[in-house]
Amino acid sequence: MSYNEEYKKLVEHILVNGIWQEGRNGNTLVVPNYSFTIDNMEEDWRLKLRKLYIKGIYGEFLTLIDPTPLTNVSQFEANECNYWKLWAKEDGSINVDYHNMLQPRLSNLIHEINTDPSSRRHIINLWDQNHVDSGELSLACCWHNLTFSVIAGTLHLTWTQRSVDTMIGLPSDVYLAHLFMQYIATMCNLKIGSCMFSLSNTHIYEEHISGAKELLTRTEADYDKKLSFELKA
């Protein structure tokens, strides 16, 4: 099953089986857990059922892998990623473990894959409970664990997420997973293989329901048609 078919299957599953729950930033229709696998992340990573803000997501990735300390939203905006201002303070300052926890680990992970590819310890963990409890983070990580494995010269990934905004966040997260795999595969001279998405609290916001139903009527020929959803801070 292609990614686009898997995505429609997930949306339909939430609409049919989801339970209403009041959350931090609005009412959601939610299922407790869900998983799916994209067999070929080299090719099958782009949602083709609506127009995506590819440039902004790519800019987010560039900002996260930049070793320069990330302290201000202007660093995202310099890479044409403009939506992180939703979580920044009025002066633009920002504090996220997507960067704080990623940077100390990323270069070491690449070294480890190059020197011991068959290891089962190729993990990037972004969740630090002390940081979350401190209240100092601009946003606690939604995707928080990336587990890589190398088998027969091919890089595979398990992407773990604690909270999933299905209509806006997930298509962006799938593209980010592709970019991480592409980056590491290039640095380690590997092929790109599969990615399994392990998702908790997978939800659709109440105001996104009508758009979700419209999306189910679309085909991959609609890749360039806009479908507007409000990004929730």
Residue type, 123: I
Residues contacting 82, CB < 8 A, separation 6+: 56, 76
Assigned domain for 233 exists: no
What is the token pair recorded at 136? 């100092």
Per-residue model confidence (pLDDT) at position 24:
87
Of the listed ranges 9-18, 19-28, 118-127, the least confidently predicted one is: 19-28
Assigned domain for 20 exists: yes
Q: How many residues are given for the chain?
A: 233
Per-residue model confidence (pLDDT) at position 23:
84
What is the token pair recorded at 213? 């139903």
Tens of pLDDT, residues 59-81: 999 999 999 999 999 999 999 99
Assigned domain for 31 exists: yes
Beta bridge partners of 93: 72
Q: Classify residue 200 by burial, with Cβ atoms within 10 Å: 0-12, 13-18, 19+.
A: middle
Assigned domain for 166 exists: yes
pLDDT classification of 231: cutoffs 50, 70, 90: confident
What is the token pair recorded at 70? 């990330």
How far is residue 172's CA from residue 60's CA, in Å, rounded to a whole number? 10
Q: Classify residue 95 by burial, with Cβ atoms within 10 Å: 0-12, 13-18, 19+.
A: middle
Which of helix, strand or coil describes residue 218?
coil
Q: Is the pLDDT of residue 233 over 80?
A: no
Report which secondary-structure segment, H or E, holds 161.
strand 154-161
**CATH number reported for the structural domain that contains residue 123 in this entry:** 3.30.572.10
What is the token pair recorded at 181? 């795999």
Assigned domain for 34 exists: yes
Q: Is the pLDDT of residue 11 over 80?
A: yes
Per-residue model confidence (pLDDT) at position 101:
98
How far is residue 219's CA from residue 59's CA, in Å, rounded to a whole number? 27
Count how many domains the chain has: 1
pLDDT classification of 28: cutoffs 50, 70, 90: very high
Q: How far is CA 179 from the centre of its chain?
A: 10
Per-residue model confidence (pLDDT) at position 185:
98
The mean pLDDT of the chain is: 97
Mean pLDDT for the stretch of residues 165-177: 97
Assigned domain for 230 exists: no
Q: Which domain holds residue 46?
A: 3-54+97-220
Percent of the chain at pLDDT exceeding 90: 95
Assigned domain for 48 exists: yes
Q: Is the pLDDT of residue 13 over 90?
A: yes
Assigned domain for 119 exists: yes
Choose among 146, 166, 194, 151: nearest CA to 10: 166
- Other Cβ atoms closer than 10 A to 168: 20
pTM: 0.97
**Terminal CA-CA length for the chain:** 32
